[in-house]
Amino acid sequence: MTKRAIIRLGLLGVLALMVTSFASLFAAPTVTQASSHREAPLISQDPVADATDLYSFVSPDRPDTVTFITNWIPYENPAGGPNFFRFGDDVLYELHIDNVGDAQDHISFAFQFHTVTVNPNTFLYNTGVVGKPDDEQYNQRQYMDIMRYDAPADGSCKNMALANCPTAKQTTIAQNVEVAPANVGPHSFPIYAATAAMNVKEVGNGIRAFAGPRADSFFADIGSLFDLLTIRKLPGNAGGGVNSFAGYNVHTISLQIPINQLTSNGMTPSNPSDPNAVIGSWITSSRRTTKVYSEGKTTSSGQWVQIERLGMPLVNEIVVPLALKDAFNSLHPWQDATIPAVVNVVTDPEPARLLKALYGLNVPPAPRNDILMVFAQGVKGLNQPANVVPSEQLRLNVAIKPSANPNRMGVLGGDLAGFPNGRRLTDDVVDAELQVVAGVLVDGYNKAPGNVLGDGVDAPAGQLMGTFPYQALPYSAYYVNPGKTVNP
């Protein structure tokens, strides 16, 4: 057997281990849901509600705040006119916060959008040169409302989405916040960077908000990995990968929020061991129970029903099997721990035993508590809440200051301010997750090839910004063609 074949089998086994470990963890009883780029059958048919990524990190230029970046609508080709991509006016987008560790929704921020067409008697997105978001020539505009929901102290919203709970405290953060326009091209938006910057809004109490298109910050060679998990340049730590997301945009909803407005005690912790220092987050999209089509118009009514969920990256996309993907997307974190025999499946996965018996690949023996810890509990002593209830969330210790020299491998690279302690735009989650599942956190297993697995893509394609909203400006089709051919 060739070296290439052995390593490919190893990667297949590693991802099989992930699938088997998490299938039982996220099997849903009777509900439906989805997450990541086109990760589940149902949500892949509803792109405006499809979450691609969630990022959570202590803001490097404002360390008393946390930045949440939520990205939606995968694979936006910049040449998407005349009806350029926009948020769904009939979708409820939400950011959820668990600041206790009990897998409950204690704070949520809800975002809703409405679109205004200034001149309906033209097919144009803009009827002339646009410099400011309120220029008359900007024809198809979108606006965002932001609400905050807080769970009541009496526990009456337990096991409920706060937007559906009648006793949740509701606060209007902002209304009619202008959404940044599409980057149509240099003749339509000659100062696009300045125009988009006008859409970064101070919405009160130290909160900054931004919504609109940005270059997709996710980076991975999925063109290679989805082709029988091929690595272009073995074993993955020497580059050679092709970023499948270069040239594509997403739509982002980003918030920068003072830490003391997120913690359970309303304080800004300075000690990482403070029990109030860890906050978990996840994002969802929901639609009304009923939608009626009539004469080119639609109306929606009824309660909000969750159709998408995303916390830790890549869980549903490459971990959950097809039979469970839609079910995963309707689960809430408080349901994750209700599935029987979860711990046994996660800590003693059959694929790991098969890999050792059939191929001699050195994977850790059971129990695999390292996998359970990273993906469902948080790392003990880093971002695991006291008395944590296992659930899939992106957990961040807000008392750990931003790194002066961020390492793309995050915690695996000795940088405690990075993934899986939250997630920054430059964190290489594909390489990190492969290596964790291969056993690098288990004594005696942090060695090649397990600790050098990767896809050969190590950074986002766009030029990131140094201040909020941090993501690179969206690509313009006048300059960029994402459909470039890659030769073997």
How much is the pLDDT for 361?
A: 60
Tokens of 298: 């639609």
DSSP secondary-structure letter at 25? T
pLDDT at 98: 98
Q: Rounded to an integer, what is the distance from CA 182 to the centroid of its chain? A: 21
Per-residue pLDDT, 389: 92
- The reported pLDDT for the residue numbered 318 is 53
Strands (E), 376-420: 394-397
Strand-strand pairing, 249-258 and 201-202: unpaired
Q: What is the pLDDT of residue 19?
A: 34
DSSP 133: T
Tell me what pLDDT residue 68 has.
98
CB 123 within 8 A of CB 296: no
Per-residue pLDDT, 251: 98
User: Tell me, what's the pLDDT at 383?
Assistant: 97
**How far is Cα 194 from Cα 133, in angstroms, rounded to an integer?**
10
Per-residue model confidence (pLDDT) at position 214: 98
C-alpha distance from residue 193 to each of 133, 218, 251 (Å) = 12, 21, 16
DSSP symbol at 10 = H
* Tens of pLDDT, residues 276-307: 999 999 999 999 988 888 877 888 888 899 98
Residue 41's pLDDT is: 67
Please give the structure tokens belonging to residue 245.
């997301």
Peptide bond into 351 cis (omega under 30): no
Contact (Cβ atoms closer than 8 angstroms) between residue 101 and residue 334: no
What is the residue-wise DSSP string for 152-217? -TT-TTTTS-GGG-TTSEEEEEEEEEEPPPP---TTT-TTHHHHHHTT-EE-STT-EEEEEEEE--
pLDDT computed for residue 238 by the predictor: 83
pLDDT of residue 375: 78
Which of 273, 214, 279, 272 has the alpha carbon at shortest distance from 57? 279
Segments of the chain with pLDDT less than 50: 1-35, 340-345, 351-352, 354-355, 358-359, 485-488
Compute how many other C-beta atoms are within 10 angstroms of the C-beta atom of residue 41: 12
| pLDDT value of position 382 | 97
What is the pTM assigned to this prediction?
0.88
Q: Among candidates 41, 428, 40, 109, which has minimal Cα distance to 256?
A: 109
Q: Which two tokens stand for residue 465?
A: 């910004």
Residue 470: closest CA among 430, 428, 424: 424
The pLDDT value given to residue 6: 33
